Amino acid sequence: MLPPQLSGIAYGGDYSPEQWPVEVQEADIALMLEAGVTLVTVGIHTWALMEPAEGTYDFDWLDEIIDRLHAAGIQVDLATPSVAPPAWFSYAYPSALPVTRSGQRLGYGARQSICPSSPDYRRAAAALVERLGARYAGHPAVVLWHVYNEYGAPQSECYCDTSRAAFHTWLRARYGTLGALNQAWGTSFWGQQYGAWEHIDVPREGPTAVNPAQRLDFARFTNDELLACYRNERDILHRLDPGTPVTTNFAGTINGKATDLWTWAPELDVVANDNYLTAERADNHIELAMSADLARGVAGGGPWLLMEHSTGAVNWQPRNIAKLPGQMRRNSLAHVAHGSDSVLFFQWRASLFGAEKFHSAMLPHAGTDSAIWREVVRLGTDLRGLAEVAGSLVRTRVAVIWSWPSWWALELDWRPSADLSYRRQLDLYYEALWREHVTVDFVAPGADLSQYSLVVAAHTYLLSAEEAGNLAEFAASGGHLLVSYFSGIADEHDALHPGGYPGALREVLGIGVEEFHPLRAGETIMLTGGHTGQVWSEPVRSAGAEPYWTYLDGPDAGHPAVTRHAYGDGVAWYVSTELTVAGLRELLADVLAGAGITRPGFPDTVELVRRHAPECSYLFIINHGEEAVTVPVDGVDLLDGTRREKEIKVAGGATAVVREPA
């Protein structure tokens, strides 16, 4: 549920008037109106202002700015400042500072220096949110509550004694008995049977690899503790201001390893995502689309809010490459294409001091006589033209499994190859689909798959028996399933499914594998059809599947490398090595055709995404290439108001949004 007061595509960003003399506020608001800003986020880092000493509160300054924004017709996303406790808090409660896995107690001076299990922290945050919520409940400017900022990024796990005790509580709730825990953790390995809850340690660094089931549960515990911090504040706001939705902004759905967003989804009124590109990646618009699609997935397919992105460079990457002219506009419209009903930035006005002073903003250090400001003003106009798009929905018949437990478990110590990377594999499959112009939904392994024709499971290392059954049932019912190597290997406790690989998916895939054959660093192997594989090879034996591509060399020469298995009414494909994007696209040509999904024949630099409203649909054509592209359409380009009856030519770097009849 997006805030009902929002109309059209919300435009704006984080606003930190506290960094400037009060007289700057007037200029800010005038410039916001010039740019078409409709929504700003206020308050994220202002705990020390709201509560300058423990129990002493001051909201006058906040009243003033919110009233001023309201007077100008700009809506407010009001943040609880719990991401940055004041210095007095960390001084008074040093045990609320987090401890790293190597036992280092972190200091104050950045932000997020918080043990998420600290009762002192939760109590202090709740006390403040009580006052904040009471004061601004029902304020006409405040359309959304914004809790914290980017849970788990970077601070997630804490290994302090408080966390240890909280871990015991969590484990008791999860397992009930020590017997169940010993069974789940496989403590008979290396003789770690526990005879008392208090004997269990947080999985701090040991002389060698620590029990992987323990570490996996600690990742779950950490996620749950962060989520508990969120609920701690949300529940207060719901009670005090039931009419106003509550959100928290994710630190980039696809980058947030610490937070299993499938467990957050039911707790959020509104899904909000921050998106920062890998600046040195040339085609980082693909990564952008992936993050947006996962945000939409977490939002259950409905619209979501792009809470932060950047007009130009960020400040925290090794080389903070700026955006090229036009790139910020394409990025912004791409988020809308993938389902965002907002374009918000960190930040409104560039800071002159602090850790992020080299981060770009809507209003740069150079002021309004600047290319960035001119692009910001133009974008405000563009978004007003897209107001009717708000609320429309993206639909697709292709889903990709996203599994945080797989990510956690696959990257623990002592896997078959150091080259295994959950994100790299997901990026690979996503990129191949993106270049084939296939819009995808991301779904959890246990999700209802009935609306999809094709489901992709890449590096879905961890699958419970139920989840594996869900995938098999999908195929049996006529779906097309595409599975990569090292999927279906372990159960929810990182214990292997017995009987050979890939245990949980052997039957649906119609194959068996006796042994993994990770390749040497940099090694590549040849497959039929001129394809190459890297990282991994397997002596795939058919148990019903037919070979599609075969290994020509390497440790498994002669074995199938890619197989296809007719299963029930559907088909299950298996890819036992890491293909190139080009190889994967060639495979997808057959897989997609089999699933009855057509691939439009456009260059792979053009992005095509459609949002559906009851009466019409909106086709976003985003040309990331340099050459113009012509696309058949019949509708009105909302960005320039022109009607295109047959086709539209979109210049290199340009974007069109065409309203077509439903």
Please report, as a single letter, which amino acid is at residue 259: T
Smallest gap from residue 430 Cβ to a second copy (A): 23
Q: Which of 5, 25, 95, 105 binds a second copy (CB under 8 A)?
A: 105
**Whether residue 157 lies in the annotated active site:** no
Q: Looking only at residues 337 through 376 of this chain, which bind a second copy when binding is defined by CB under 8 A?
A: 351-358, 360, 364-367, 370-372
- Around 32, how many Cα atoms within 13 Å sit in the side-chain half-sphere? 32
* Total residue length of the chain: 662
Span near a second copy by CB under 8 A; candidates 43-51, 140-148, 578-586, 597-605:
43-51
Q: Which of 5, 25, 45, 625 binds a second copy (CB under 8 A)?
A: 45
Span near a second copy by CB under 8 A; candidates 185-193, 223-231, 336-344, 571-579:
185-193
Smallest gap from residue 183 Cβ to a second copy (A): 10
Q: Looking only at residues 161 through 180 of this chain, which bind a second copy when binding is defined by CB under 8 A?
A: none
Q: Which of 252, 267, 459, 398 is nearest to 335 (CA)?
A: 252
Task: Write down the catalytic residue from 157, 233, 287, 308.
Answer: 308
Structure tokens at 283: 């085609």
Q: Which of 495, 540, 629, 656 binds a second copy (CB under 8 A)?
A: 495
* Residues 18-27: contacts with CB under 8 Å, at least 24 apart: 18/45, 18/46, 18/49, 18/61, 19/349, 19/351, 19/352, 19/353, 19/354, 20/349, 22/64, 24/349, 25/65, 25/68, 26/68
For residues 126 to 165, the per-residue mask of contacts with a second copy, x marking binding by CB under 8 A and - elsewhere, is ----------------------------xx----------
Residue 87 touches a second copy, criterion: CB under 8 A: yes
Q: In this structure, are residues 658 and 621 in contact, taking their beta carbons and an 8 Å threshold?
A: yes
Q: Which of 5, 320, 524, 532 binds a second copy (CB under 8 A)?
A: 320
Q: Which of 330, 321, 337 is nearest to 375 (CA)?
A: 330
Q: In this structure, are residues 331 and 317 in contact, taking their beta carbons and an 8 Å threshold?
A: no
Smallest gap from residue 557 Cβ to a second copy (A): 11
Q: Would the CA dihedral through 481, 487, 493, 497 be positive or negative?
A: positive
| Distance, CA of 252 to CA of 637 (rounded, Å) | 30
* Beta carbon nearer to a second copy, 144 or 495: 495
Residue 23 touches a second copy, criterion: CB under 8 A: no
Other Cβ atoms less than 10 A from the Cβ of 8: the count is 17
For residues 384 to 413, the per-residue mask of contacts with a second copy, x marking binding by CB under 8 A and - elsewhere, is -----------------------------x
Q: Which of 202, 584, 587, 606 binds a second copy (CB under 8 A)?
A: 202
Q: Which of 57, 59, 61, 108 binds a second copy (CB under 8 A)?
A: 108
Residue 376 CA, distance from chain mean position: 25
**Whether residue 308 lies in the annotated active site:** yes
Residue 190 touches a second copy, criterion: CB under 8 A: yes
Q: Among all chains, which residue has been given the structure tokens 């889903």?
A: 399
Span near a second copy by CB under 8 A; candidates 34-42, 200-208, 432-440, 611-619:
200-208
**How many positions of this chain bind a second copy (CB under 8 A)?**
116
Q: Which residues contact 34 (CB under 8 A, 6 or more apart)?
A: 377
* Beta carbon nearer to a second copy, 497 or 610: 497
Q: Which of 38, 41, 80, 113 binds a second copy (CB under 8 A)?
A: 113
Q: Which of 30, 63, 316, 643 binds a second copy (CB under 8 A)?
A: 316
Task: Write down the catalytic residue from 150, 375, 436, 607.
Answer: 150
CA distances from 477 to 1, 45, 571, 572 (A): 32, 51, 10, 11
| Distance, CA of 217 to CA of 223 (rounded, Å) | 10
CA angle 72, 74, 8 (to 5 degrees): 130
- Host H or E run for residue 587: helix 581-594
Q: In this structure, are residues 440 and 609 in contact, taking their beta carbons and an 8 Å threshold?
A: no
* Beta carbon nearer to a second copy, 203 or 445: 203
Q: Which residues pair with 442 in a beta bridge?
A: 400
Smallest gap from residue 158 Cβ to a second copy (A): 10
Q: Which of 201, 448, 466, 569 binds a second copy (CB under 8 A)?
A: 201
Span near a second copy by CB under 8 A; candidates 309-317, 444-452, 455-463, 617-625:
309-317
| Distance, CA of 334 to CA of 309 (rounded, Å) | 12
Q: Which of 33, 72, 265, 496 binds a second copy (CB under 8 A)?
A: 496
Residue 614 touches a second copy, criterion: CB under 8 A: no
| Distance, CA of 361 to CA of 384 (rounded, Å) | 20
* Beta carbon nearer to a second copy, 115 or 629: 115
Pairing of strands 570-575, 560-567: antiparallel
Q: Which residues contact 298 (CB under 8 A, 6 or more apart)?
A: 250, 253, 261, 262, 264, 265, 268, 271, 304
For residues 504 to 543, the per-residue mask of contacts with a second copy, x marking binding by CB under 8 A and - elsewhere, is --------xxxxxxxxxx-----------------x----
Q: Which residues contact 415 (CB under 8 A, 6 or more apart)?
A: none
Structure tokens at 148: 């914290």
For residues 48 to 67, the per-residue mask of contacts with a second copy, x marking binding by CB under 8 A and - elsewhere, is xx--xx--------------
Span near a second copy by CB under 8 A; candidates 82-90, 121-129, 224-232, 432-440:
82-90
- b/e burial code for range 603-634 (CB count within 10 A of at least 16 → b): ebbbbbbbbeeeebbbbbbbbbbeeebebebe
Q: Looking only at residues 546 through 575 of this chain, which bind a second copy when binding is defined by CB under 8 A?
A: 555
Which conformational region is residue 19 in: left (phi greater than 0), alpha (psi within -120 to 50 degrees), or beta?
Answer: alpha
* Beta carbon nearer to a second copy, 197 or 605: 197
DSSP structural state of residue 76? E
Q: Which of 25, 193, 232, 532 binds a second copy (CB under 8 A)?
A: 193
For residues 410 to 449, the per-residue mask of contacts with a second copy, x marking binding by CB under 8 A and - elsewhere, is ---xxxxxxx------------------------------
Residue 502 touches a second copy, criterion: CB under 8 A: no
Tell me whether residue 188 is exposed, middle or buried, using C-beta atoms within 10 angstroms of its C-beta: 0 to 12, 13 to 18, 19 or more: exposed
Residue 322 touches a second copy, criterion: CB under 8 A: yes
Residue 88 touches a second copy, criterion: CB under 8 A: yes
| Distance, CA of 145 to CA of 148 (rounded, Å) | 10
Residue 21 touches a second copy, criterion: CB under 8 A: no
* Beta carbon nearer to a second copy, 226 or 386: 226
* Beta carbon nearer to a second copy, 173 or 196: 196
Q: Would the CA dihedral through 384, 386, 389, 395 be positive or negative?
A: negative
DSSP structural state of residue 340? B
Residue 266 touches a second copy, criterion: CB under 8 A: no
Smallest gap from residue 171 Cβ to a second copy (A): 13
Across 208-269, the runs of DSSP E, i.e. the strands, are 246-250
Among all residues, which ones are annotated catalytic?
150, 308
